[in-house]
Amino acid sequence: MAPHHLRGTLNIGFQLMITVGIFSANLVNYGVAKIRGGWGWRLSLGLAAVLAAVITVGSLFLPDTPNSLIRRGYHEQARQVLARIRGADVDVADEYGDLVSASEASAAVRRPWLDVLGRRYRPQLTMAVLVPFFQQLTGINVIMFYAPVLFKTIGLGGDASLMSAVITGLVNIVATFVSIATVDRLGRRSLFLQGGCQMLVCQIVIGTLIGVQFGASGDGAAIPKASAATVVAFICIYVAGFAWSWGPLGVLVPSEIFPLEIRPAGQGINVAVNMMCTFAVAQAFLPMLCHLRFGLFYFFGGWVLVMTLFVAAFLPETKGVPVEKMGTVWRTHWFWGRFVADADMDGRAGNRDSAFHKGKDIAVESRSRPV
């Protein structure tokens, strides 16, 4: 529903609300930890039901998107919704025409879950799988899920570790505003590359600081306050790098690269990969921390290096490109262009063969028709 020149900014609002939710959860956890009797965790979990109720009630007031309305045949209603969300002083005739044309093209696709596997859509499928995969292997969920455990491990007390988690949550929110302000001016690639380099340096520094203090056995003395503060500072810098790069862009880029005909399938694959990787990393973190110790940060740092190189080589810039015209981005890319071009050539060849046989049949019919 967002206009293409503001799509990045508005889409990252989704990530911003996630960061606000994380920060709010950290504040709740910090508060309920002080409840005597140890039952505060029940309150922490129970409050999630309140937010679930807000989502349920709020969904009743959401309009359908113009794309969805057109696909289901409600053309006049789609035009009205488009005019309402663009503003009364904006002529939506051209945009509406583009949406109708794109919808007609997508309606010709009968098997999107099979077609998304075809060569023509290889670039989008690759991004739908690797972007969420890489996003989870930045190690951010390790920090956000287990920040209190991690900070307690490096020697901070119970309350101090919870407060450190609150601080990282606040950094997450502020840095997301940086992404909102710059994503449609600097572009996606610039933020990906800058954030990746920042996270890589932080992972190396954090792993080295913890390794020097605790050693390979992990049985070192309690970490001095100055060293602990340095670790927390670099974790905050790491969180900031994620919050203006892989955090919001891991949601934004997959949402804007799919053509309408395979968007439901592509987005479904993207979300499924994201959830599976989130689950796997969350389950594996504590055993990996016990076995790898400070090497865990080098492990995630290695993946950050891989994903940064991947973005530099294979991810084209999508800033300011309307979704219905995104195919041009892949056709002109040095690597992905060969997949799209080959598929287009195959399609044109099939059309020529079909036209040839159709013309041949017409000729035979005309010769056999009595004069």
Number of other CB atoms surrounding residue 351 within 10 Å: 10
Comparing 162 with 182, which gets the higher pLDDT?
182
Band of pLDDT at residue 273, cut at 50, 70 and 90 = very high
pTM for this entry: 0.76
Percent of the chain clearing pLDDT 70 (strictly above)? 86
pLDDT tens readout for residues 73-88? 999 999 999 998 888 7
Q: Say which CATH topology domain 112-330 has.
A: Growth Hormone; Chain: A; (1.20.1250)
Comparing 153 with 70, which gets the higher pLDDT?
70
Quick one: tokens of 179? 């992404």
Q: What is the residue extent of each domain of the chain?
A: 112-330
On the question of pLDDT at 368 being above 90, the answer is no
Nearest of 361, 115, 135, 103 to residue 253 by alpha carbon:
135
On the question of pLDDT at 152 being above 80, the answer is no
Q: What's the rounded mean pLDDT across residues 308-325?
A: 89
**Average per-residue pLDDT for the chain:** 83
Q: Are 193 and 311 in contact (CB under 8 A)?
A: yes
pLDDT tens readout for residues 10-57? 888 888 888 898 888 888 888 888 888 888 889 989 998 998 999 999
Quick one: tokens of 342? 């080959």
Number of other CB atoms surrounding residue 329 within 10 Å: 18
Euclidean distance between CA atoms 142 and 370, whole angstroms = 80
pLDDT tens readout for residues 82-136? 998 888 788 888 888 888 887 887 777 778 888 888 888 999 999 999 999 999 9
Angle among Cα 246, 251, 255 to the nearest 5 degrees reads 135
Q: Name, in order, each residue with C-beta under 8 angstroms of 75's C-beta and a sequence gap of 6 or more.
A: 69, 100
